[in-house]
Amino acid sequence: MAEKFNYYEVLGVDKNAGDDEIKSAYRRMAKKYHPDLYSTKPEAEKKAAEEQFKKINHAYDVLSDKQKRAAYDQYGDENGPMGGGFGGGGAGAQGFGDFDSFFGDFFSAFTGGGRRSARPNGRIDGDDITITITIDFMEAVRGVQKDIPITRQEQCADCRGTGAKSGTAYKSCARCGGTGRVTTRQNTIFGQQVVQSVCPDCRGTGRIITDGCKACGGKGTIKRSRIIHANIPAGIDNGQMITFSNEGNCGKNGGANGNLILIVNVRPHPLFKRKGYDIYFDVPISYTTAAMGGEIEVPTLDGVAKYKVSEGTQTGTLCRLSGKGVKRLNSEMHGDIYFTVQVQTPTGLTRQQKELLTQFDASLTANQSPKQKKFAEYLKK
């Protein structure tokens, strides 16, 4: 049984949402559930994200197509009253309304493929480019500039993106009559069904190039390598993304360029553990310092700080250095540093040291070790 789900809810939009709102929601949700972000997650979480990613792409495929959306709003299925719905097992006998469009959209947000509008010669926005980079812990804390090599599709300078040799004209596509769409009829167990799909001859443009541009091979775009100077802001955390507008693949027919999406992985630090903008770690102190109190040195993000340990400090005591944590993104405020005291019990004692400790222990009263006293009282019950 094919799974049914609400396309509007999947994208997080209202039923009356406009095209721009739907497109914006699609990009936001597709980035959120992109498989690259879940590559190191547990298998169950990874699989759930993959399924959600499929739903997001299918929902957008339907809601961005006026005919499919109208059918879905009326019948609850983009294929009309006899539609088969969307499921993990494929299209089935009915198929998707536009098989090519579905799989083109499935990969377009992160690989390349381009989304074509239903009308011929419509604007086609360029695809986003997603790149994952790895930086050091302190680079994430302080910010860093990285030169990112990318390869993207850019408009051909010779034909200015038309794909045709300069001075030549197009002709209308004979197969689709210039509409960019072809109609086929399929016999199913429910009867005959009419299916529209992208014309394979003109690839949805509605026109055929008679004499292609030699520089780009008639594609209108040329693959080029570039270096993007990326400023990674101070305070960025592992798994966060930075979007560089219009730095992705170029659009066609006047469509906007895609974006460059940078996913940041941060290498772990040997001592510091980050939670949000706060830093956590353990600090070992001597038995004597814990008992008598004293000043200790504590590592911070900006060097070593002095900290006064109170007399009688116990293992597990959590101490705080206010404002010494990670700088918040787009703010001058900082998080805090929290360190946990670990009292070190001396080892390898000499005979004389053992005798001195025995004398010291004998001099202690029960009130000087309240937890030990309470435990001893419990044992006597």
| Per-residue pLDDT tens over the stretch 125-146 | 889 999 999 999 999 999 999 9
| Together in a domain, 324 and 262 | no
State the greatest distance between any 2 C-alpha atoms of the chain, in Å, as a whole number: 104
| Together in a domain, 31 and 63 | yes
Q: Is the pLDDT of residue 106 over 50?
A: no
Distances (CA, A) of 249 to 73, 129, 312: 33, 7, 63
pLDDT at 259: 93
pLDDT at 112: 38
At 234, is the pLDDT very low, low, confident or very high (cuts 50, 70, 90)? very high
Q: Is the pLDDT of residue 93 over 50?
A: no
| Together in a domain, 264 and 302 | no
Q: Is the pLDDT of residue 6 over 80?
A: yes
| Together in a domain, 94 and 147 | no
Looking up residue 229, the CATH number of its domain turns out to be 2.60.260.20
Q: Would you say residue 83 lies in a domain? A: yes
Distance CA(216)–CA(375), nearest Å, equals: 83
Domains: count for the chain: 3
pLDDT at 206: 79
Q: Would you say residue 40 lies in a domain? A: yes
Q: Which residues touch 351 (CB under 8 Å, ≥6 apart)?
A: none
| Per-residue pLDDT tens over the stretch 154-171 | 999 988 888 888 877 778
274-286 average pLDDT score: 97
Choose one of 268, 299, 331: the last residue of a domain. Answer: 268
**Which single residue is written with the structure tokens 């001075």?**
167
Q: Would you say residue 181 lies in a domain? A: no
Q: Is the pLDDT of residue 99 over 80?
A: no
| Together in a domain, 123 and 263 | yes
pLDDT at 209: 84
Domain ranges, residue 248: 116-152+220-268
At 189, is the pLDDT very low, low, confident or very high (cuts 50, 70, 90)? low
Q: Is the pLDDT of residue 111 over 60?
A: no
Q: Would you say residue 63 lies in a domain? A: yes
Query: Please, where are the H alpha helices in 222-348?
Result: 287-292
Looking up residue 65, the CATH number of its domain turns out to be 1.10.287.110
| Together in a domain, 284 and 146 | no
Choose one of 239, 268, 297: the last residue of a domain. Answer: 268
| Together in a domain, 148 and 250 | yes
At 175, is the pLDDT very low, low, confident or very high (cuts 50, 70, 90)? confident
| Together in a domain, 10 and 102 | yes
Q: Would you say residue 79 lies in a domain? A: yes
306-315 average pLDDT score: 95
pTM equals: 0.59
Distances (CA, A) of 101 to 61, 116, 118, 249, 287: 7, 8, 10, 19, 70
**Which single residue is written with the structure tokens 């299209």?**
91
Q: Would you say residue 175 lies in a domain? A: no
Distances (CA, A) of 363 to 289, 300, 347, 352, 357: 19, 39, 21, 17, 10
| Together in a domain, 358 and 285 | yes
166-188 average pLDDT score: 80
At 255, is the pLDDT very low, low, confident or very high (cuts 50, 70, 90)? confident
Q: Which residue has the higher pLDDT, 32 or 355?
A: 355
Q: Is the pLDDT of residue 90 over 70?
A: no
| Together in a domain, 67 and 125 | no
pLDDT at 91: 33
At 3, is the pLDDT very low, low, confident or very high (cuts 50, 70, 90)? low
E-assigned strands of 302-366? 303-309, 318-321, 337-344
Q: Is the pLDDT of residue 364 over 80?
A: yes
E-assigned strands of the chain? 129-135, 144-155, 170-172, 181-188, 191-198, 207-209, 221-232, 241-244, 260-266, 273-275, 278-286, 294-300, 303-309, 318-321, 337-344
83-89 average pLDDT score: 42
| Together in a domain, 346 and 258 | no
Distance CA(103)–CA(351), nearest Å, equals: 78
Q: Would you say residue 195 lies in a domain? A: no
What angle, rounded to 10 degrees, do the helices at 19-32 and 43-63 form?
A: 170
Q: Would you say residue 173 lies in a domain? A: no
At 188, is the pLDDT very low, low, confident or very high (cuts 50, 70, 90)? low
Q: By the 8 A CB rule, do 152 and 129 touch?
A: yes
Number of other CB atoms surrounding residue 22 within 10 Å:
20
The CA angle 31-77-126, to the nearest 5 degrees, is 35
| Together in a domain, 98 and 121 | no
Averaged pLDDT score across all residues of the chain: 83
Q: Which residues touch 77 (CB under 8 Å, ≥6 apart)?
A: 71, 83, 84, 85
